Chains A and B, each alone.
Chain A
Amino acid sequence: MRAFFKLLLLVLVLAPFAARAVEPSEILPDARLEARARALSTNLRCLVCQNQSIDDSNAPLAKDLRVIVRERLTAGDSDAQVMDYLVSRYGDFILLSPPLKAGTILLWASPFGVLLLGLGWIAWAGRRRRNGSVKAEPLTPVEAAKLSSILDRQ
């Protein structure tokens, strides 16, 4: 937690510099390499920022990372190699889309899990209904009078 607050402090200190991102001087002459660099950048987290990709952030670290990405691409690395290199240096934290691992299975499975659970529940409830185990309770006379008075008022 202490590390977190240090990070927060850093973020607050850096915040005034926010909002610049990719600088003209960084852009690679080769448009295809540059496009690949941009695509990779949007999936890489600026480690000191608040949920920004290095493509969006202008923190000095983000700039360094953008330059590293471009250097590796220029040196002939594949996209996967660049990502692996950065993960080996900074850990999974740098990936905005967490890799599928033991620790993230629940994360990736949750949408489909919830959907399946919901479908199962609906099917179960539907069957229970059809079996007629649930019957509607008639309104009490007071309620019926109240309801009809409200309906009449329309």
Chain B
Amino acid sequence: MIVETGHFALILALALAIVQAVIPLWGSLARDATLMRAAPSIALAQFVMVAIAYGALTWAYVSSDFSLVNVFENSHSLKPLIYKISGVWGNHEGSMLLWVLILVLFGALVALSARNMPDDLSASVLSVQAWISGAFLLFILLTSNPFARVGMPPIEGRDLNPILQDPGLAIHPPMLYLGYVGYSMTFSFAAAALINGRIDAVWARYVRPWALLAWLFLTLGIAMGSYWAYYTLGWGGFWFWDPVENASLMPWLAGTALLHCTAVMEKRDALKVWTIFLAILAFSLSLLGTFLVRSGVLTSVHAFATDPQRGVVILGILTFFIGGSLTLFALRAPMLKQGGLFAPVSREGALVLNNLLLTTACATVFVGTLYPLALEALTGAKISVGPPFFNYTFVPLFIPIFFAMPIGQLLAWKRGDLLGAAQRLTLVALAGFVAALIFYAMQGGPALSAAMGGLAIYVILGSFFDIVTRVASGSSAGAMMSRAIGLPSSAWGTTLAHAGVGVTLLGLAATGWGVEKIASMRAGDSVDLGQWQVTLDKVAPRPGPNYRETVAHMTIRSGGAIVAQIEPSRRFFNSRRMTTSQAGLLNVSLGQIYVVISDQETEGPLDTRLYWKPFVSLIWLGPLIMAIGGALSLTDRRMRLGIAQRAKRRRGPEPKTVAAE
């Protein structure tokens, strides 16, 4: 009964989406306030319906209701509760439902803040949102219904793919979807602006929180996915330039450009057409990502839930929204009037450069990902585009970005002083150079790593330079403190986000200083791994809830003293007859000792790969810092349009500050 209720709620949600797609839009075109004001309540009702459907499916998973095809195929009664809950989105149907749930949740949030928006804007935005949610609800109901029953319910389920039985599944897809779907909001705002033929700094203010939110979650989602791949796939890599990784990187690059662009629009009312275009692009690429993952047109490590027929439907949705929005863009964009003027050397100019490089990088990833497919379709020739290609093309595009980041932050709006900014950064650049020399002297390793490390230090120090100089101009410690607190939180946000980029770069640089050992080990054998000695004590079986495990007990010593014990293992899942590898990980300051074992032949030696990866944690700490920066920017006073009135009562209008973006 609960399941049927969920199914019914989902159908109702589709009906509501259709109403929401038509009525408010009509109202906004016909300037009918009544029709426009219908939008928020329909959006809220739609959210409630989808939430009921999602809740019903979760209930079916938790109670192991194997009369549902979806639960039967992807769950098991012995599966730990966390994987029953996260298993809901560990398959195609459930993950699409999560996608729509987040979509209508965001729609509901817009509906709740609609009072603060012009009626026609909120009505058009919610209408466009409903077009998207309607399309996906239709897709779910027609081709991927999670509520389909089986006639003869089996006694036990087939279990979730063991690779997905990991805490990573609980975090990675929701984060990623929050990011992807967040760009549907910026898209809806862009489409609404085109429909209403009006775009200004006020519009940018409404869009900016969404651009920030989407970017923040996408950053976390990608980082989490990367870390998950790092510890599960078992060879210590963290980025494979896999098509599906690329599919998430593309919206991130476009979205990062969009984030910087909305800053220009909000502050200076410039780059409007470009902002709209980026908003369309970021969401189109998110849809493309969904299509690539769900259709299986590209070989990828995510090939666990693919179906070419559904792919065709998603391709249809993709074509409709990209084609429709670009047509709208072509018709309406020339009517959008350009705003503030600026000199080439200025904050705006720097952000244009940022946009140019980021979109070029995005285009590179796009071409690199889809070229093999296109070439094979056109000529039949099969080629591979792998990591070396991206190292030759993508990486060089990012080098100028790293150099320019601190400089751009110091340029004034409208007209900046490039030489002055460069001079002010002399010390920072010098520090980076010295750091590179120190890295080289200490590690002696590849010169490239030392240079990258120096560049990273330059980026990190450079991010803080602006804020430090602003704070340090206070006369006393107390004055400095109050200055630091008084700075807009978006200034701190920018600083942290940029510093996060530097932190990741440092982690990447450090990959060149790692140690790798491949050894056949017997009990009692030791392997020297840089400054560590790793000893295999014994190999023993261990039972798990729904798997059997072979664990290698290892002791890590440093100069004879025991540091820690790690237990790399291989898990065998009987339900799917699959083996997964669990890496043995030890965090030592910011580095990691990483050990994976392979299947042991009876009583033979154990093939072992051991790594010492100094500073490797920085690779994922960077995105975390970036996301914290994004969150700080979100708390900036000017974002909170709705609660601004309260703030005004407490304090008078404040002097205009030049906030850094």
Contacts and interface: CB of A to CB of B under 8 A. Distances in A.
Interface string A6-24: 0110011001111111111
Contacts of B577: 16
Chain A interface residue bracket vs B:
35 or more
Contacts of B327: none
A146 B118 contact: yes
A114 B360 CA distance: 6
A53 B237 CA distance: 11
Contacts of B340: 136
Interface in B315-345: 337-341, 344
Interface string A51-88: 11100101000000000000000000000000000000
A51 B596 CA distance: 21
B389 A8 contact: no
Contacts of B170: none
Contact of A51 (B341, B386, B518, B647): B386
Given A27-B518, A136-B339, A98 B389 contact: yes
Chain B interface residue bracket vs A:
35 or more
A78 to B, nearest CB: 19
B572 to A, nearest CB: 9
Interface centre among B201, B359, B607 (most CB of A within 10 A): B607
A42 B206 CA distance: 47
Contact of B519 (A12, A16, A24, A45): A24
B533 interface: no
Nearest to B651: A154
Contact of B518 (A23, A52, A137, A139): A23
Nearest to B269: A136
Nearest to A147: B202
A103 B383 contact: yes
B389 A97 contact: yes
A91 interface: yes
A73 to B, nearest CB: 17
A98 B374 CA distance: 14
Interface string A94-138: 111110000110111011001100110010001001000011110
Contacts of A22: 518, 609
B623 interface: no
A145 to B, nearest CB: 11
Interface in A7-50: 7-8, 11-12, 15-25, 27, 42-43, 45, 50
A111 B384 contact: no
Contact of B237 (A7, A56, A103, A134): A56
Given A20-B607, A24-B607, A27-B518, A51 B383 contact: no
A89 interface: no
B202 A146 contact: yes
B256 to A, nearest CB: 16
Contacts of A152: 648, 653
A84 to B, nearest CB: 16
B583 to A, nearest CB: 9
B299 A7 contact: yes
B344 A56 contact: no
Contacts of A20: 234, 581, 596, 598, 607, 609
Given A97-B392, A108-B393, A114-B360, 6 more contacts: A15-B578, A20-B598, A23-B598, A51-B242, A96-B389, A107-B368
15 contacts: A8-B299, A15-B578, A18-B233, A19-B581, A23-B598, A43-B388, A51-B243, A92-B383, A96-B384, A97-B389, A111-B360, A111-B363, A118-B359, A134-B337, A154-B654
